Structure 1
């Protein structure tokens, strides 16, 4: 018979409130009560060997994992508790307590009554409202790139803590990553995890268990299992977080992952630093899921260092920008023989005028496709927003997109600006362009110039009306 525990409902509620409370053995009767007798209505999840129930304690919730056939999974139960007791981290699900209960029960056997053991094995965790898998698959739960990046970093941080404590998860995937109300990821489900001895480094097993697509090739070949096995699972998970898709992932390239992720955001919300983050994450994902363990990253710290470096770069760029530029990725829906416009918004939140230069990326030369000669120069006045319309005329096949890199200078006075134009051999226009905007519903581009000159141009028919104006080509 199991050892009796003295934890009461009030004690358990206090443990949920106090994040520093240590896990304790919990009485089966208490867990039965808070789940309404393990009612089917309380089931919130399930796996191959257990069901997860929602328990209510006062105004708080708790997750209770109950093994279906305890005697068949005694080893996994012990391994999971061993792992959970060793690590405590914000990106690892919080372990509240456990129950190992065995009661003698009279059962009829061949017309006789015999005493049989009735076993219950349960593990309790903090209640988390969502699973990452849902957010990836459900379009209505679409995540912004900043959230995806934070989730990727959080998963890497959690996995790093496990590896620091000689724990191999062995089943890392979006279904086993839970999210709290602030979208902080928490690694869960340690049913097949392995706690290594200090400096053990690896182990061998004849048992193949886990989720196939996330399993490293060496596990199927009964090779040595190391932290590199978890990195393979991490790579597949990172790619799935980025693209929402794991189909044909074994054939995907860095460019494939990058393009799929960019397509999700449709160029509307990404900064230049975030575009770079997407490329770095694509490289991490593909490198981690390499079929050869030696070609994967050396450890989780190497990955975290890259992610944090990119996060610092974004923070530095955002704080140091003279102009806010959106979007930083221009996408043109190309159709041969048709003028295709794309707008670029430059916002000056400072009290001084800013000059800009808009040019083509070095990697893709689009000069022959733009109707306006580039590079293009201009001024965004203090505390104002300036909209540039770039128009492409496609006569044959061309790349589908180009990055808009901005080069921005700050001038203290008019003389400095004139010197800048002279340096670039640009003639200062006599009637400078002061504003440019597009009609919200009509295909009209409106430019305003000094001395009240205005021009209205239809970018579909190419018809224009001047009152009077100067051609855009005079600016380059």
Structure 2
């Protein structure tokens, strides 16, 4: 039974409705010098709070692929009350109208124009995309494996709600100081009913190279849509190779086939022959990644089985280490 103290504790963890003027102040009027990321859905700035803490402030774009209000509602409603180590934390938001002079049917009129802003915990290491491909760093395999496990744990949590992310890709995985991954950008997410397993849409929006074929071509949405994208994330993180679809080609088949042909057991063994732990983990991750991108969604593994397999891999290594000591 909940007490008033319990309710107060829960309420104190919920994000805050912040004034637009306050967000302008902490971002130096949305200065270009504070930009840390840009995407189809908006621009992200660093904001310095009065106590010195840094947060990330996303200013939603007016010309986003889907309506700005829908993005705002998805982000706030779908992740506002949830807390998980591998899900980015929403710490504030703003939906505030301002009087602006706009051109409408050849006439200038004064209208209320609403800004949508979302504030998150600041993650200094940036995105997985940045660390793997844009400004690559030499990540040891144990760090890569930690990232893969964290992404899978985060997705397991989302699918238990059930919440479908719909836009898993390296740009939407953020890393903290300890290289702990956090799933971000819930603008396309879909919240299902407890008994709901599938949905259909005619408005297909997403990132080429990561969209599941049944969603891309038939508008079918399910947890298995995320599993397809997860498979590509796992494969990219494991191999360090970028999934780059050709221009106007939404499929990742060329990348998938290249990995299937090149990352054989013999190839993996030639790289990790002196590290049996890594050899086992890399082999399992390649297997899982390729299973996840099966064209037939029914043949893809569930997130529960993926988490179990990765956990079993770790347990086997612990057992082997114990036998040696």
Question: What SS does structure 1 have at the residue aligned with 2:194?
Answer: coil
What residue number does 2:31 align with? 39
How does the TM-score come out when normalised to structure 2? 0.85
Superposition deviation, residue 315 in structure 1: 1.6
Q: CA deviation at 1:266?
A: 4.2
Match of 2:46 in 1: 54
More strand by share: 1
Q: Partners of 1:39 and 1:32 in 2: how far apart?
A: 9
TM-score by length of structure 1 reads 0.59
Instruction: Name stretches of at least 5 consecutive residues in structure 1 with no aligned partner.
Output: 1-17, 323-476
1:276 pairs, out of 265, 276, 280, with 280
1:127 to 117, 122, 127: 122
Segments of 5+ residues of structure 2 without an aligned counterpart are: 1-9, 245-253
Structure number with bigger Rg = 1
Q: What are the equivalent positions in structure 2 for 1:49-448 lying under 5 Å apart?
A: 49-57=41-49, 58-69=51-62, 72-105=67-100, 114-129=109-124, 130-137=126-133, 141-245=137-241, 246=243, 248-252=254-258, 254=260, 256-258=262-264, 262=268, 266-267=271-272, 271-297=275-301, 299-321=302-324
Native 8 Å contact 1:243 1:260 kept in 2: no
1:49 Cα offset (Å): 2.6
Deviation at 1:67, TM superposition (A): 1.2
Contact between 1:273 and 1:317, CA under 8 Å: does it hold in 2? Answer: no
**Pair 124,249 (structure 1): closer, same or farther in 2 beyond 3 Å:** same
Q: For the aligned residues, what is the CA RMSD?
A: 2.6
1:86 deviates by 4.4
CA contact (8 A) 1:258 1:278 kept: no
Alpha-carbon deviation of 1:85? 1.8
Aligned to 2:18: 26
C-alpha change, 1:232 and 1:260, in structure 2 (3 Å) is farther
CA distance in 1, matches of 2:206, 2:107: 42
The number of residue pairs the alignment matches comes to: 302
Higher relative contact order at CA 8 Å, sep ≥6: structure 1 or structure 2? 2
Cα 1:260–1:99 change in 2 (3 A) is farther
Q: Distance in 1 between matches of 2:159 and 2:315?
A: 25
Deviates more, 1:213-222 or 1:73-82: 73-82
Q: Decide which moves more: 119-128 or 58-67.
A: 58-67
Q: Offset of 1:114 from its aligned partner?
A: 3.7
More helix by share: 2
Greater shift in the superposed pair: 140-149 or 26-35: 140-149
Instruction: Tell me the alpha carbon deviations over residues 14-65 of structure 1, each in whole angstroms, 9 at most, x when there is no partner.
Output: xxxx9x7221211111111000000111110011131011111232110000
Whether the 8 Å CA contact 2:70–2:187 is kept in 1: the answer is: no
User: Structure 1 pair 103/218, CA: closer, same or farther in 2 (3 Å)?
Assistant: same
Report the equivalent of 2:247: none
Deviation at 1:142, TM superposition (A): 1.3
Q: Are residues 284 and 39 of structure 1, via their aligned partners in 2, closer, same or farther at CA, if it must alter by over 3 Å?
A: same
